[in-house]
Amino acid sequence: MSKSIDQIFISAKQWLLSWLTGAPDWVIQVASSLINIFTLLAVFLTLFALMSVLERKILGRIQNRYGPNRVGPFGLLQPVADGIKMLIKEDIVPARADKIVHFLAPILIAAAAVLALGVIPYGRNMTPFTIDGGILFFFAVGSTTELAVFMAGWGSNNKFSMLGAMRAIAQMISYELPLIITVLPVVMVVGSLNPDAIVAAQNGYALGLVPRWFVFTPWGATAFILFFVSGLVESNRTPFDVPEGESEIVAGHMTEYSGFKYATFFMAEYIGMFAITGLAATLFLGGWHSPMRALEFLPSYVWFFAKLSALLFVYIWLRGTLPRTRVDQIMNFAWKFMLPMAFTCVIAAAVWHYAGRGLRGWLWSLVVIAIVYTALSILLDARRKFAPRTYRFAE
Amino acid sequence: MTPTLQIFLIISAALFSIGLLAALSRRHAIFILIGIEMMLAAANLNFIAFWRFNPGSLQTTGVMVAIFSIAIAAAEAAVGLALVIAVYRHYRTTNVDQLDQLKG
Amino acid sequence: MSSTAFIVIAILTLAAALAAATLQKLMHAALSFAVALVGVAAFFFSLGAEFVGLVLVFVYIGAVAVLIVFTILLTRRDVGKDRGTNWSGVIVAVAVFGGLIWTILETPSLSAAAPQIPALTVRRIGEALMTNYVWPLQCIGVLLTAALIGALILVMEERR
């Protein structure tokens, strides 16, 4: 029974495809891909709509106010109203803009965000597109975002746009290194770039109780935190939202966009966020595996989306809690702390592997990480003495 | 009709010639770099095509050469573009025809 | 791969490459260059070398294209001056193309169909990189480090 509920979407797809029996091979292939694409788009656009209203509600709770509560029950129809508003707004293109580049930028950024969703396993047998180098595909597609952001900044021919794009690219490139290097230990331990294999490697329970998720090893926990922070930067979220810091440069690379193009940027940002949290859940939180043997009767996709929602909630929580960091702080943090720690994760994973993947390996890798962390915190602690504050008055 | 080696080679030759065209006919340093990168990509396409159509071999030599040449192309682009920026700072131009002084 | 898809990708790649070589605006040329390289990566996919195609997209779009557009941004005051074409270069390029095509068409052994080969998994590439090709791999590492440091020194502001 629970097995059939677990595979209900697979069965539904098989049933849909059974209408096509007798058709040529390529028709079935194309139809199968189209079903995957439409399901993916439907699920994640719904999630985007839901997320946009829930984010405002949760931020409202954090800031001691109500949030949207006028449209529909509990304000749940707010995204529909927003969508209609965005659609009927005038689409303004600056007179001196590079029209083609200005037009193509939102398309490219949305396409890249949606493509990245395609390789994540959402449940048992529920990977939309199986590629042997799935993780590499994710990052290859994700790196296109930088080009799209640059196109938006350049095409707008506006100094705020250009500044925002420069900031965005600078921090994206800086944090792409820790993002990818923290994936390396997982790839090393599993021995595959295939997301399905990575999820399969996290099956089972140590001591019959603790799930064998990578987040429960010292290197995995460190890598997960680093990956999460880098993901926060890659999706330009608070506290790393300097590229679109409203109080400084209007809206960064999106300044000259209006109407539906602006909505596309907004959507791409959220979908990129889903993709990166989905990958974090896949790599470190066991993908669609359940945390306890007793709870395995729940379908696999429920677990995946539960983990995804938990991570997204942390995103919103951070946005409601932390102030915006400065550009130089972000850069220093990336190159002086994140990158060495990411390399340490690789070494710690190797130590864990060669010490037998048991308790001994656990302790040794903890020691490696603790040593590097302490050394880094001593080295980076400038203990800057601040001079007493002096005031200069206009004379 | 499945693509044969010949067709891949023709495409690769066309890509190489277009790269050569960009490298030889344009006067802007960045165009020249784009042309060189395109020629390297064409060479990679050749390597992969010859690897794929090599009968009865389990070797991965062609693929390896392509991977290494991609890495070298990245290094080359980084240094080349750094040179363009350094030259631009000095002469305020990126037109290679105007960079004809030996005196710095 | 079906021949229709192949023809579409071929036309797209060559058109984008030609645009990259001939467009007047540098930024458009750089973006066309990125499109042409995606086309090349698609060819790699069709030839069964998925990993190399992904590496190509990753390195060229994520790094080289971004570097090129950054350089265009940093040197943009120069844009707008003489953009003449060197016609002797065009003649040389056409001559090279003609020669290559003639050679390819004259060689009889090139029209064989693709043989069946085992799939090129990432595992196989990794094993080859770590056994037979470990020295080239180390050399590439040294080369990339040298290129990184060299590029940094080249663009560093001179201290006065």
pLDDT tens profile A248-258: 777 778 778 88
The backbone torsions φ and ψ at residue A211, rounded to the nearest 5 degrees and listed phi first, read -65, 150
Residue of C nearest to A149 (CA): C66
Which pLDDT value is given to residue C143? 92
Cβ neighbours of B91 in C, within 8 Å: none
Nearest CB among B8, B14, B35 relative to C97 is that of: B14
Query: In which band, very low, low, confident or very high, does the pLDDT at C83 lie, cut at 50, 70 and 90?
Result: low
* Euclidean distance between CA atoms B40 and B32, whole angstroms: 13
Range of the domain at A136: 79-380
- Rounded to a whole number of angstroms, the distance from the CA of B62 to the nearest CA of chain C is 10
Q: Could you say which residues from 7 to 36 on chain B have a Cβ atom under 8 Å away from some Cβ of chain C?
A: 7-11, 13-28, 30-31, 33-35
A45 within a domain of the structure (yes/no): no
pLDDT tens profile C117-130: 777 778 888 888 88
A43 within a domain of the structure (yes/no): no
* Euclidean distance between CA atoms B35 and B77, whole angstroms: 11
A56 within a domain of the structure (yes/no): no
- The residue among A173, A218, A157, A170 whose CA lies nearest residue A341 is A218
- C31/A26 touch (CB, cutoff 8 Å), yes or no: no
* Euclidean distance between CA atoms C48 and C60, whole angstroms: 19
A281 within a domain of the structure (yes/no): yes
Chain C residues with CB under 8 Å of a chain A CB are: 2, 25, 27-28, 31, 34, 50-51, 54-55, 57-58, 61-63, 65-66, 69-70, 73, 119, 121-123
- B85/C75 touch (CB, cutoff 8 Å), yes or no: yes
A85 within a domain of the structure (yes/no): yes
**For tokens 């020249």, what's the residue?**
B32
With 80 as the cut, is the pLDDT of residue A289 above it? yes
Which pLDDT value is given to residue C142? 93
- Rounded to a whole number of angstroms, the distance from the CA of A101 to the nearest CA of chain C is 8
A42 within a domain of the structure (yes/no): no
Q: What is the architecture of the domain spanning C1-78?
A: Up-down Bundle (1.20)
Cβ neighbours of B16 in C, within 8 Å: 96-97, 100
Which pLDDT value is given to residue A4? 75
A302 within a domain of the structure (yes/no): yes
Hey, is A210 helix, strand or coil?
Answer: strand
What's the mean pLDDT when you consider all of chain A? 84
**For tokens 């007179």, what's the residue?**
A95
A386 within a domain of the structure (yes/no): no
Q: Into how many domains does chain A fold? A: 1
* Euclidean distance between CA atoms A201 and A283, whole angstroms: 10
A53: tokens are: 């209203």
- C117/B49 touch (CB, cutoff 8 Å), yes or no: no
Bridge partners for B95 per DSSP = B28
Lowest mean pLDDT among B15-29, B37-51, C79-93, C102-116: C79-93
Best of C66, C76, C77 to mutate (most A CBs within 10 Å, chain A): C66
- C43/B9 touch (CB, cutoff 8 Å), yes or no: no
Length of chain B measured in residues: 104
The mean pLDDT value for A365-390 works out to: 79
Best of B50, B67, B76 to mutate (most C CBs within 10 Å, chain C): B67
User: Are B and A touching by the rule of 3+ CB pairs within 8 Å?
Assistant: no
Q: Is A36 exposed, middle or buried (0-12, 13-18, 19+ CB in 10 A)?
A: middle
Neighbours of A387 (CB within 10 A): 6
Profile chain B (104 residues) by mean pLDDT over runs of 10 residues: 76 89 83 88 88 73 87 89 83 73 66
Cβ neighbours of C83 in B, within 8 Å: 27-28
- Rounded to a whole number of angstroms, the distance from the CA of C31 to the nearest CA of chain A is 9
DSSP secondary structure letters along A93-134: --TTS-HHHHHHHHHHHHHHHHHHGGGS--STT--SS--TTH
Lowest mean pLDDT among A261-270, A367-376, B58-67: B58-67
Residue of C nearest to A176 (CA): C62
So what's the ipTM on this one?
Answer: 0.83
A391: tokens are: 């005031």
* Euclidean distance between CA atoms A387 and A112, whole angstroms: 48
- Rounded to a whole number of angstroms, the distance from the CA of C56 to the nearest CA of chain B is 7
Length of chain C measured in residues: 160
Domains of chain B, earliest start first: 5-98 (1.10.287.3510)
